[in-house]
A and B are shown apart, each in its own frame.
Chain A
């Protein structure tokens, strides 16, 4: 591939985290009965008029500030005209001439180092409804029609599918941190149109691009990009020409396909939206929103490292998802043991998250209960294994560790007299192992420790067991 350069640009549509739609007061809720959150405005009834959701504007500007954009002090809306059954007015209210945010960018890690992926602009628009395909007809549900969308248009600065992933993941993280969107891919909160072209090394003019629209998952985007790049390279290497067109990604067969639809050549006939007056943002307003900005993930990483004494690696893992970072901080504040909390979270809690497929906010584990569990270990009430055994239950069902330990008698046995009794029992039941040790097989000691743990139903303090067995064996030597 070294004889060709690849250029990728992404247009990402993000659902904003508002309670109501962009231009009417219908409630936003995922997964409700079709056509139950509709009104004359979002249904495009005769005489209906749009009225701007102020919160949506604030969120888009917040995103723009987080992404380093210039905020347009004077911003207007336009009608984008095209016919489709999920469009209730057969025009979409969008922004073309004067969008809310201009410029900005996201830094991504590449094998060659840090790269800035520039943003062209961010604009506000509204989503369409949903078409459901049945065997002999199609149905339309307008619940989603009118949802506030923020469209983030990148410059064609990306060069590989991996870079595209890094950009999207970074973007998603920043938007979730900003509280601007949940970016829940399963709910279709974040969809991208992918533009890709190839050109020979040395040519400055970009090649003809194709567009793959409405990609929902990052995996899908990655696979589609890989395929489409190969497809274009194959065509171009044979001396062929790329047709500028929209293609559809078919995940089942793993190919992009040309769309024969007439919708391909759109003349959107943009013109200023007469029903919506301009948005004029004052310096004071923008400054106020700027001071209310949440932390960027990178800033949070640094703060967690310094505030809780955890290494960079840990901070990176924890801050990857805002919910995890929030949980960690809350827990570390209570426990006072940042590194311990970090270890427990990264190793054990995240393992359970992976197994169950549940996020931390979906689980019943609270910062208080994890902090309590850790404290029970550090003060010797229970041992590490016992704690690890309790964790899944705390994660899936909830509960207070202290109470559980008491009710179930899980407290660690630390009384040397009791442990001695266990050791005597084990030694007498395992004379061969004892002799093996005395004959030089040092590993036998571990076996004996294990047997004591077993006999004590895991409750014996392993450190004490180890040291007492070691002493006893040494005395027998």
Chain B
């Protein structure tokens, strides 16, 4: 039991409700809607004088604390799982790019820019929109999520069709 919780990954029927419970607990304790990508805007607000980052949404400090916690949680998960072995291996991305570090860096860097810009444009990311937003029945969140899925579906299948990799 302890091993299933702390050491190995969770099956979907446990992981999904667990995420929903964290979101609910967060709303109950802090009174706020959980979200990730706005927190990166808060990080920009620390160093930027752009009026875009001057709104309350970005100047609130709690989001910064929250996004600092995220990699800590990932670190704890890897540590407890006994998988804390830093390496450049990137799963199927290695297959896709033929192991070229340059192509991988280009994909990850350009993708990162699109992730940040797209999330600010859409007003949220898969946590704030797809989970917390849809859970409240928000139209903007449903539409944004359809966009996330359509964009990801298109680019991944295009990439694999172009660059190959193992057959399905």
Is A bound to B? no
Residues of chain B touching chain A, judged by Cβ–Cβ distance below 8 Å, are none
